[in-house]
Amino acid sequence: MMAVSSLRICKGKQLFDEPLSKHTSWRVGGPADRFYTPTDIEDLALFLSDLPLDENIIFLGLGSNLLVRDKGFRGTVISLKGSLSQLELIEDNSLTVGAGASCAKLARFCQRNNLTGGEFFAGIPGLLGGALAMNAGAFGGETWPLVKFVYTINRQGKTFKRTAEDYEIAYRSVTGHSDEWFVSADFQFESGDGEQAALRVKALLDKRSQTQPTGLLSCGSVFKNPHNDYAARLIEASNLKGYSIGNAEVSAKHANFIINTGKAKASDIESLINYIQKKVKQEQGIDLCTEVKIIGEIDND
């Protein structure tokens, strides 16, 4: 276990050797050396500025797009769940949204304020910070086309205001300023009928529940869709629906989902990911790239 922190007094909640299985949607993963939930942006800046310069740092939302290996993460995890979650109307159908706000809550906020264009956020099972980091999307919509400005913070606690032109934005990919993390964003929506938007969201979510294994332990989509194709189709065509390693199983309902059937280890899931990639390459000639992020120590035993 780590020694007691010598950091200056911060207002947030700090834990040591915290099991990340408690904070990921797959419910797997070993401990993080340090786990911190800031109270606000000033507290986050203070905390970051006091960390060692060589400290490994990751920001965590709802853990819905993350696989943490069984040996855990050597470094600091900053959790935004319950933090930096502001949603505020500014002007001209614009919103300021904190990185800790859930995408589903953002979609509902838009509906209540008669704003359209953000309905797809209802289908993203995570927080805004993660959606910004990977250009998350659902139902044909993506995060970054709606962005006016993003606000970031670096490990010295300094904040920045940036635009989309400061990044390279692509399908499920955002690169640039890798030494900074998103803390909020300004979005531009369209004025419209919130009730009609709510009906569209309901129809989309109903369709999702019919085609995806909602309510089970998964991370959402595991692989990115290749150009002009679908990862689920390629996996199904390789006869992998229902295939399992340990207690990790390819969903029989949607092949781009891997389910923890109860007692899976992270190693089961990672082995299944690797096997799917190998099998699809052999059978279909396509390299599947992961959408899920894999972190943590590799077990060489």
Question: Quick check: is 291 catalytic?
Answer: yes
DSSP string, 100-125: TSBHHHHHHHHHHTTEES-GGGGG--
The alpha-helical segments, DSSP class H, found in the chain are: 41-50, 103-112, 128-134, 194-211, 231-237, 266-284
Q: Does residue 168 have an active-site annotation? A: no
Planar angle of CA 102, 106, 107, nearest 5 degrees: 120
Among the listed residues 27, 162, 172, 208, the single catalytic one is 172
How big, in percent rounded to 5, are the helix, strand and coil portions of the chain?
30, 30, 45
d(CA 87, CA 84) in angstroms, rounded, equals: 9
Is there a catalytic annotation at residue 271?
no
Q: Of the residues 221, 238, 249, 251, which is catalytic?
A: 221
Number of residues written out for the chain: 301
CA distances from 147 to 118, 200, 242 (A): 11, 22, 39
Write the DSSP symbol of residue 223.
Answer: B
Which residues form the catalytic set? Answer: 172, 221, 291
